């Protein structure tokens, strides 16, 4: 059998953990090969080894049958290997074009030539329907477009072997469909793709074969056609996973969040567009309310206004019947609000702090963790150890692991642990299960329901329709900054929900 | 099969042992400390080469002078080392403390000058304060330095004006303001020397017995104050909730805001504290002895820039800074005696410059050490493999770290300039 990539007996260690333990991975030319594994199983590490970012302690890599040494991304590039990282690596104050050509730019008399590059980029983007604006700054474009820039970067370098590390975690369902079409086109051209994802549906939809890792070890490879979701997830976590959440009907109690006529105006100069337009709703203790909608319809702005991360232009917010519109973030955080933010690296974590310091990020000032302004290290460590145990946060060195070195999913688990363990009255969770494996998602969903049953009100913002339908007791649909419908997940069909989200239907289901 | 397993567990145990040592060894070698040490050694070697070129006959004795000259007059020269170290401990802390909280305080010079100025004003014109005069003088220095940093701090926090720009401006404003005022206010001015007037006796920082121990040197209680302040800064940064907040803001302004930390206040405070530290340095130097005067020349005070070097060499940690300042003062003291061998004492400045240059490359040096270690490790393993000891699960933390550490380099090498969002945002 002709393999384009063979990684044989790869072992890679980090302080306190064997991230890859004698792993073998063989990829055929022209296939989409999925890599599946729990959070921290070692997927990103294995791909970083292939891309030359890490040197394995043991094992060999063969490309097209020849053993190669990949000492860095430059070597990888020369072998036709390109990678889109789990957390993008783009220069934010550069334009799309500059990012794409960075490192392979054509220079004449010390001046960068861009005409040829621009032409090639435009051609590529038309050919693969990867729409980008070459002159837009990275900081101004959506995550979906950043994703396309990363892919164009690989295509621009004529890479044949494409590594996509959780490319769909940050995309909306529509964008995911587009991406999967692009992937199909690419393999038709003879390129080979290594595709990491936690979503079994996606593997079923595009992948040819799937290799499974568990806790740094290689479990096996299956043909996707012959394996159903249950088999794959059992291979991955070592037990059966429930995809639907078992829960009783909600018993809503008193109002915990009340939003009245909330308005957020665009802060960009010259814009007066209302990103959140006169939104009113409430959340009660003991219920989970979802905000469904396509990304970019004002959900982020709504949440940032509620939590205080950005200011609002009008309206009122009440938490536990107390007006908190003008209160600062610390006040809200200590008066019942917990928040799982959308962007874990930007808001959720201080990556250069240890895990234990991140776990007290919202509480370090409480008497429990400090005395006369002196941090109580022992208690902080103990607190961390408890949460690590309870939420199964995996890392190399336990509580003193630098957050930066943790796997993406485990970083997310740390945030969730921190926010849920504060026993909030109101939890605002944005994409809480982004980047989590199916086992962890099941666990988090259970925790959300448990929190609800113990009297917490949950406001869940999610782009995952499955999650919205599964977990919530009530669905609010947001479209162009407005709430266009209130639906009951037990009654509404996914299709109908889609119509609301696309803006082609309005009005409350319950009013019918 | 069974014996196989046994041998394996034996080698495993051995591995465990070597692993502990190699881990410890690698940790030391790959820490920033070694990088600084390497920078120092390289700097000194460069110095030796310069000496050899300048005057081969005297080079070796000259080099010995640099290395051990600070002992040449026994406790007196050690005392002088402490004396010289005092102000640069403070300015080093001013730069390092700010840096730990995400700010680049290039304005230490101006803050130092303002501190000196305030101290001299109190020292020359407030003799009615009696024995409290030096204390009030130092407090004035602290306040003046703090105020001088407050403005760049506010600009950074509220208008996102980069602190480097605004504090450079403050450096010049401070220097000209001080020169102008000193030369135009009679009570502050000594026309003969074109410098500030003599401070009163009661304004001089007491010796606290330092003059007994280090007889003949200028060292005074100021050194003790500087050391205590360094320890205090260490505690504040690493042990208190306040330091937790300041560092969090330095690392990630957005996450700090999310955690309810008032990041604007943190930035302002941190800059102000940095300024207070530099100001204290000015006070400690200019109230340290009767002989020190502010000279009316249009030159920025070098102590501020020495602070940047010291902070760099000391890896911005308060205790590191303490030792870096002592080291720099130590070889400066040696350089002073270098003149005995007909070398110019500026050679020391070159050596210091080289050391700083290399410690600025500390990351690079660190990466190189790690690569070397992992290379050796690989070779050793290959050798071991061919000898048939194959059961060993490679416990090479060193190699692991090597790959890890070189990540940044290699990414940059491929021109993909991985940019750190959180930091990019806050700069
Ligand atoms: N640079 C590093 N330094 C130290 N430990 C690391 C480093 N990178 C990864 N690890 C550790 O190695 C293990 C595997 O991490 P990896 O990122 O490969 O997981 P993953 O399978 O990609 O998980 P996820 O699905 O959460 O992204 C984790 O326990 C992580 O803590
Ligand atoms: Mg990963």
CB A207 within 8 Å of CB A407: no
Question: Which range is least confidently modeled, A151-165, A230-244, B314-328?
Answer: A230-244
Q: What's the farthest any 2 CA atoms get from each other in chain B?
A: 96
Which residue did the predictor score with more confidence, A145 or B230? B230
* pLDDT over 80 at B374, yes or no: no
User: Are residue A371 and residue A295 in the same domain, yes or no?
Assistant: no
* pLDDT over 90 at B407, yes or no: no
* pLDDT over 70 at A186, yes or no: yes
* Mean pLDDT of the region A112-138: 85
* Mean pLDDT of the region A418-445: 90
pLDDT category of residue B28 using cuts at 50, 70 and 90: low
Position A266 scores a pLDDT of 80
* Mean pLDDT of the region B399-408: 31
For chain A, report the end-to-end CA distance as a whole number of angstroms: 61
What is the tens place of the pLDDT at every residue in A338-365? 999 988 889 999 999 999 999 999 999 9
* pLDDT over 60 at A229, yes or no: yes
User: Is A406 touching ligand 1 by the criterion CB < 6 Å?
Assistant: yes
pLDDT category of residue B414 using cuts at 50, 70 and 90: very low
In a domain, A431, yes or no: no
User: Is A216 touching ligand 1 by the criterion CB < 6 Å?
Assistant: no
User: Are residue A363 and residue A317 in the same domain, yes or no?
Assistant: no
How far, in Å, from the CA of A314 to the mean position of ligand 1?
43
* Mean pLDDT of the region B208-237: 90
Q: Which ligand is nearest to the CA of A10?
A: 1
CB B133 within 8 Å of CB B139: no
Position B30 scores a pLDDT of 52
* Mean pLDDT of the region B311-320: 89
Residue A210 is inside which H or E element, if any? strand A209-214
CB A62 within 8 Å of CB A5: yes
Position B367 scores a pLDDT of 62
Q: How far is CA B367 from CA A277, A429, B359, B361, B423, in A?
A: 53, 40, 13, 10, 22
| Probe residue for ligand 1, chosen from A40, A53, A436 as the CB with the greatest number of ligand atoms within 8 Å | A40
User: Is A42 touching ligand 1 by the criterion CB < 6 Å?
Assistant: yes
- Of ligand 1's atoms, which has the minimum distance to the CA of residue A213? 21
> Token digits for A139?
């900081």
Position B420 scores a pLDDT of 35
Spatial separation of the C-alpha atoms in residues B355 and B349, rounded to whole Å: 10
User: Are residue A161 and residue A287 in the same domain, yes or no?
Assistant: no
Distance from CA of B193 to the nearest CA of A (A): 49
Coil vs helix vs strand at B218: coil
Spatial separation of the C-alpha atoms in residues A264 and A179, rounded to whole Å: 31
Q: Give me the percent of chain A exceeding a pLDDT of 70.
A: 98
What is the tens place of the pLDDT at every residue in B141-167? 999 999 999 999 999 999 989 999 999
> Token digits for A168?
């769909």
The domain boundary, picked from A174, A208, A237, lies at A237
Name residue, tokens 């390497």: B38
Position B70 scores a pLDDT of 75
Torsion of CA A196, A197, A198, A199, to 10 degrees: -150
Sequence-distant (≥ 6) Cβ neighbours of residue A326 within 8 angstroms: none
* pLDDT over 80 at B196, yes or no: yes
Distance from chain centroid for Cα A87: 9
Which of B255, B399, B404 faces A347 most closely, judged by CB atoms? B255
Position B5 scores a pLDDT of 39
Report the CATH number at residue A405.
Answer: 3.40.50.300
Q: Which long-range contacts (CB under 8 A, 24 or more apart) does A345-348 make?
A: A345/A87, A345/A411, A345/B421, A345/B422, A346/B252, A346/B254, A346/B255, A346/B421, A346/B422, A346/B425, A347/A309, A347/B254, A347/B255, A347/B257, A347/B258, A348/A411, A348/A412, A348/A415, A348/B255, A348/B258
* pLDDT over 60 at B195, yes or no: yes
Question: Which range is least confidently modeled, A141-155, A199-213, A266-280, B282-296?
Answer: A266-280
CA atoms within 13 A on the CB side of A402: 8
- The count of domains in chain A is 3
> Token digits for A324?
């908190």
Spatial separation of the C-alpha atoms in residues B402 and B27, rounded to whole Å: 11
* pLDDT over 60 at B379, yes or no: no
Mean pLDDT rounded to a whole number for chain A: 89
Spatial separation of the C-alpha atoms in residues B129 and B134, rounded to whole Å: 9
Which residue did the predictor score with more confidence, B209 or B385? B209
Nearest to B320 by CA among B26, B42, B76, B35: B35
* Mean pLDDT of the region A244-262: 87
Domain range holding A210? 3-237
pLDDT category of residue B53 using cuts at 50, 70 and 90: confident
* Mean pLDDT of the region B163-182: 93
- Residue ranges covered by each domain of chain B: 2-30+365-426, 78-329
What is the tens place of the pLDDT at every residue in A56-92? 999 999 999 899 999 988 899 899 999 988 888 888 8
Residue A112 is inside which H or E element, if any? strand A111-113
Contact B374 A341 (CB under 8 A): no
Which residue did the predictor score with more confidence, B376 or A154? A154
User: Is A39 touching ligand 1 by the criterion CB < 6 Å?
Assistant: yes
Rg value, chain B, Cα: 25
Position B86 scores a pLDDT of 94
Position B69 scores a pLDDT of 76
Interface predicted TM-score (ipTM): 0.84
Position B153 scores a pLDDT of 95
What is the tens place of the pLDDT at every residue in B336-360? 788 777 777 777 888 888 877 777 7
Sequence-distant (≥ 6) Cβ neighbours of residue B339 within 8 angstroms: B345
Spatial separation of the C-alpha atoms in residues B101 and B232, rounded to whole Å: 16
CB B411 within 8 Å of CB A74: no
Nearest to B106 by CA among B169, B167, B174: B167
* Mean pLDDT of the region B357-371: 65
Contact A103 B414 (CB under 8 A): yes
User: Are residue A225 and residue A264 in the same domain, yes or no?
Assistant: no
Name residue, tokens 């024995």: B131
Sequence-distant (≥ 6) Cβ neighbours of residue B14 within 8 angstroms: none
Which residue did the predictor score with more confidence, B420 or A395? A395
How far, in Å, from the CA of A43 to the mean position of ligand 1?
8
| B345 phi and psi angles, rounded to 5 deg | -75, -10
Coil vs helix vs strand at B215: coil
In a domain, A258, yes or no: yes
| A175 phi and psi angles, rounded to 5 deg | -65, -35
Highest mean pLDDT among A163-172, A286-295, B4-13: A286-295
Question: Which range is least confidently modeled, A51-65, A117-131, A308-322?
Answer: A117-131
Q: Give me the percent of chain B exceeding a pLDDT of 70.
A: 77
In a domain, A430, yes or no: no
* Mean pLDDT of the region A409-414: 92
**Dihedral sign from CA coordinates of A153, A42, A470, A335:** negative
User: Are residue A110 and residue A192 in the same domain, yes or no?
Assistant: yes
User: Are residue A289 and residue A382 in the same domain, yes or no?
Assistant: no
User: Are residue A55 and residue A138 in the same domain, yes or no?
Assistant: yes
* Mean pLDDT of the region A142-156: 85
pLDDT category of residue B410 using cuts at 50, 70 and 90: very low
Residue of B243, B258, B417 to mutate for A, most A C-beta atoms under 10 A: B258
Taking CA A233 as the corner, what is the angle to CA A227 and CA A236, rounded to the nearest 5 degrees?
A: 110
Residue of A14, A146, A300, A347 to mutate for B, most B C-beta atoms under 10 A: A347
Which of B251, B394, B399 faces A350 most closely, judged by CB atoms? B251
How far, in Å, from the CA of A130 to the mean position of ligand 1?
30
Name residue, tokens 């793709």: A193
Q: Give me the percent of chain B exceeding a pLDDT of 90.
A: 39
User: Is A405 touching ligand 1 by the criterion CB < 6 Å?
Assistant: yes
* pLDDT over 60 at B25, yes or no: no
* pLDDT over 50 at B370, yes or no: yes
Position B391 scores a pLDDT of 32
Q: Which ligand is nearest to the CA of A38?
A: 1
User: Are residue A247 and residue A217 in the same domain, yes or no?
Assistant: no
| pTM, rounded to two decimals | 0.81
* pLDDT over 90 at A230, yes or no: no
> Token digits for A91?
């220069």
* Mean pLDDT of the region A457-463: 92
CB pairs under 8 A between A and B: 140
Position B6 scores a pLDDT of 41
User: Are residue A137 and residue A176 in the same domain, yes or no?
Assistant: yes
Look up the CATH number of domain B78-329: 1.10.3470
Position B197 scores a pLDDT of 82
């Amino acid at each position: 059998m002709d393999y384009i990539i063979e990684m044989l007996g790869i072992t890679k260690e980090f302080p306190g953990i064997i991230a890859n333990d004698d792993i073998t991975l063989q990829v055929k030319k022209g296939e989409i090969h999925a890599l599946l594994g729990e959070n921290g199983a070692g997927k990103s590490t294995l791909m970083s080894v292939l891309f030359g970012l890490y040197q394995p302690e043991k094992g060999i890599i063969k490309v097209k049958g020849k053993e190669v040494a990949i000492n860095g991304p430059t070597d990888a590039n020369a072998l036709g290997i390109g990678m889109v990282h789990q957390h993008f690596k783009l220069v934010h104050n550069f334009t799309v074009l500059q990012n794409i050509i960075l490192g392979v730019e054509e220079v004449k008399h010390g001046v960068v030539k861009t005409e040829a590059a621009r032409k090639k980029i435009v051609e590529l983007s038309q050919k693969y329907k990867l729409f980008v604006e070459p002159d837009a700054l990275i900081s101004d474009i959506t995550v979906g477009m950043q994703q396309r820039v990363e892919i164009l970067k690989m295509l621009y370098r004529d890479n044949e072997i494409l590594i996509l590390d959780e490319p769909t975690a940050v995309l909306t369902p529509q964008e995911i469909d587009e991406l999967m079409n692009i992937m199909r086109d690419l393999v038709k051209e003879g390129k080979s793709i290594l595709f990491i994802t936690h979503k079994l549906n996606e593997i079923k939809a595009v992948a040819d074969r799937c290799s499974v890792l568990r806790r740094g070890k290689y479990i096996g490879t299956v043909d996707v056609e012959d394996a159903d979701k249950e088999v794959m997830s059992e291979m991955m976590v070592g037990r059966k996973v429930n995809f639907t959440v078992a829960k009783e009907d909600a018993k809503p109690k008193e109002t915990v969040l009340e939003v009245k006529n909330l308005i957020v105006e665009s802060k960009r100069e010259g814009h007066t567009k209302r990103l959140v337009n006169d939104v009113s709703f409430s959340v009660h203790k003991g219920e989970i309310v979802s905000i469904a909608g396509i990304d970019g319809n004002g959900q982020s702005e709504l949440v940032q206004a509620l939590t205080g991360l950005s200011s609002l232009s009008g309206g009122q917010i009440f938490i536990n019947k107390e007006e908190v519109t003008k209160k600062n973030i610390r006040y809200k955080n200590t008066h019942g609000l917990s928040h799982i933010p959308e962007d874990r690296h930007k808001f959720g974590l201080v990556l250069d702090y240890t895990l234990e310091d991140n776990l007290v990020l919202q509480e370090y000032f409480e008497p429990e963790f400090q005395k006369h302004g002196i941090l109580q290290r022992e208690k902080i460590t103990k607190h961390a150890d408890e949460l690590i145990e309870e939420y199964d946060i995996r890392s190399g060195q336990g509580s003193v692991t630098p957050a930066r070195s943790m796997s993406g999913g485990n970083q997310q688990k740390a945030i969730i642990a921190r926010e849920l363990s504060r026993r909030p009255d109101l939890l605002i969770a944005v994409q809480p299960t982004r980047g989590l494996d199916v086992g962890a998602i099941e666990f988090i969903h259970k925790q959300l329901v448990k929190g609800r049953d113990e009297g917490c009100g949950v406001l869940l913002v999610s782009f995952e329709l499955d999650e919205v339908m599964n977990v919530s007791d009530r669905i609010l649909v947001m479209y162009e900054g407005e709430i266009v419908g209130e639906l009951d997940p037990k009654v509404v069909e996914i299709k109908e929900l889609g119509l609301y989200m696309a803006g082609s239907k309005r009005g409350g289901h319950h009013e019918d | 099969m069974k014996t196989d397993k046994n041998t394996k567990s034996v080698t495993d145990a051995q591995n465990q042992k070597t692993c502990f040592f190699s881990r410890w060894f690698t940790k030391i070698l790959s820490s920033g400390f070694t990088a600084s040490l390497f920078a120092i050694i390289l700097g000194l070697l460069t110095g030796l080469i310069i000496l050899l070129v300048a005057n081969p006959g005297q080079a070796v004795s000259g080099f010995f002078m640099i290395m051990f000259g600070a002992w040449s007059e026994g406790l007196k020269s050690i005392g002088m080392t402490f004396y010289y170290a005092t102000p640069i401990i403070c300015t080093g802390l001013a730069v390092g403390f700010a840096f730990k909280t995400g700010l680049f305080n290039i304005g230490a010079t101006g803050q130092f000058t303002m501190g000196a100025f305030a101290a001299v004003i109190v020292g020359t014109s407030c003799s009615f304060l009696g024995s409290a005069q030096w204390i009030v003088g130092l407090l004035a220095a602290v306040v003046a330095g703090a105020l001088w940093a407050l403005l760049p701090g506010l600009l950074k926090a509220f208008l996102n004006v980069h602190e480097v720009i605004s504090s450079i401006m403050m450096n010049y404003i401070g220097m000209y303001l001080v020169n102008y005022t000193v030369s135009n206010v009679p009570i502050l001015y000594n026309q003969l020397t074109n410098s500030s007037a003599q401070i009163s006796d009661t304004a001089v920082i007491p010796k606290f017995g330092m003059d007994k121990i280090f007889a003949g040197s200028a060292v005074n209680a100021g050194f003790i104050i500087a050391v205590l302040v360094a320890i205090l800064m260490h505690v504040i940064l690493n042990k208190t909730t306040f330091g937790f907040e300041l560092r969090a803001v330095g690392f990630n302004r957005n996450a700090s805001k999310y955690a309810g930390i008032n990041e604007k206040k943190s930035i302002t405070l941190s800059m102000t504290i940095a300024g207070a530290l530099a100001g204290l340095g000015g006070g400690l130097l200019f109230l340290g002895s009767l002989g020190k005067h502010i000279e009316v020349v249009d030159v920025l005070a070098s102590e501020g820039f020495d602070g940047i070097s010291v902070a760099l060499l000391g890896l911005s940690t308060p205790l590191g800074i303490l030792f870096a300042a002592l080291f720099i003062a130590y070889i400066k003291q040696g350089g002073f005696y270098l003149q005995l061998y007909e070398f110019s004492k500026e050679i020391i400045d070159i050596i210091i410059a080289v050391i700083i240059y290399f410690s600025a490359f500390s990351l690079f040096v660190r990466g190189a050490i790690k690569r070397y270690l992992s290379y050796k490790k690989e070779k050793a393993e290959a050798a071991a493999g061919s000898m048939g000891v194959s059961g060993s699960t490679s416990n090479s933390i060193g190699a692991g770290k090597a790959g890890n550490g070189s990540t940044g380099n290699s990414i940059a090498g491929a021109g993909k300039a991985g940019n750190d969002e959180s930091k990019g945002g806050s700069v």
